[in-house]
Chains A and B, each alone.
Chain A
Amino acid sequence: MVNIVWLLMIVVGFLSALFFGRLEGTTQSALDGAKYAVELCIGLLGIYALWLGLMKVAEKSGLVKIISKRMKGIMTALFPGVPAGHPAMGAMAMNIIANMLGLGNAATPFGLKAMHELQNISTNKDVATHDMCMFLIINTSSVQLIPATVVALRSAAGSANPSEIIGTALIATTCSTLAGISAAKLLKKYS
């Protein structure tokens, strides 16, 4: 899908440039775009290094494990089909917490483990269980505590206050996660 969209943007772009008589300017922006990508990536380097360094410390100290252990009550309410103490619960909690901290690379292995565990207690192996649906809806709408990439991009683009969107993003991401959980609960009822 991205392949088609990308192709269309370029082909339709150059065709309409021809139509509007802006071919030279458009060629220039293509070259400028490539150049700016380099500048932006250099701007991103420092903040990414800072963030990934910090997250390495969070990972090694076992912070993710500690927080996920405290989530038992919420987890049983969200995933009623999973027996208490089942390994799927732990893996899902670890995945959700890692996602919240922006540890995408650490989150994926836990998420895949959770899916395997959920599949083990599923009776129909071709069809997603309600718990799988809920887990993935939460995963794709996960609450992000610090949108580090966005802050880095804003800083690289010369923002006077790159972190000013952390609060608004936190509220918006909470809304989206709550909407996802409500949708999953409702859809479960009517499916």
Chain B
Amino acid sequence: MIEAIRIISIVAIPALIVLVLGYGHIKGVKVYDTFVEGAKEGLTTVLRIFPYMVAMFVAIGVFRSSGAMDFLVKVLAPLTNLVGMPTEVLPLALMRPVSGIASIGILGEVLKTYGSDSFIGRVASTMMGSTETIFYTLSLYFGAVGIKKARYTLIGSLLADIAGVAASIIICTLVFGR
């Protein structure tokens, strides 16, 4: 099982690249021209997230080196230790459902501070890859059709989010070890 998870990680990207390009070619898409056309959007996407990155990096940088983060981590440690969560990933877990772009900034900062290949870095990466923005999506979709009562949608989404966070911690512990 654990070996299978490792193999998926290794083959996922090459398999998808070959599959998408191969299928595109069979369907008569000019793969090279289309690829280049899409790649152009990389620049605009990065430009779009850049200001959010600056905002988050500055804020977290200040919060961390001032000692406020250490204080918060100490206060919350008993709570996060209870579920085996590294306290350092808590800011990401809290921000993820609120804002996708802000959480990209937080993840970038966590990876820079603790290293991509540390346990904290791996849990944070897995969490980011398994949870989604909730509040914005719900207000966009319900707002678009004028729904005023969302009923149990928010609770259901948050439960799924918590399950994703819990699963990330457990699976990273199993696959990578602490």
Contacts and interface: CB of A to CB of B under 8 A. Distances in A.
Determine if chain A interacts with chain B. yes
A49 B39 contact: yes
B76 interface: no
Given A22-B65, A61-B23, A172-B167, A183 B122 contact: no
B163 to A, nearest CB: 3
Interface in B32-85: 34-43, 45-46, 49-50, 53-68, 71
B53 A41 contact: yes
Contacts of A167: 4-9, 12, 175
A179 B167 CA distance: 11
Contacts of B58: 10, 30, 33-34, 37
B171 to A, nearest CB: 5
B88 interface: no
A34 B149 CA distance: 41
Contacts of A62: 27
A45 interface: yes
Task: Classify the interface of chain B: helix, strand, loop or mixed.
Answer: helix
A32 B104 CA distance: 18
28 contacts: A2-B102, A20-B67, A26-B66, A29-B61, A32-B61, A33-B54, A36-B57, A37-B50, A53-B38, A56-B37, A57-B21, A61-B23, A62-B27, A63-B20, A112-B140, A116-B144, A140-B160, A146-B13, A150-B128, A157-B112, A165-B122, A166-B8, A166-B9, A168-B5, A170-B12, A171-B167, A175-B166, A176-B160
Interface of B: 4-10, 12-13, 16-17, 20-21, 23-24, 26-27, 29, 31, 34-43, 45-46, 49-50, 53-68, 71, 95, 97-99, 102, 104-105, 107-109, 111-112, 115-117, 121-122, 125-135, 137-138, 140-142, 144-153, 155-157, 159-164, 166-168, 171-172, 175-176
Lowest 9 CB-CB distances: which A-B pairs, in order? A56-B38, A49-B42, A147-B129, A180-B160, A176-B164, A169-B129, A159-B116, A179-B163, A33-B61
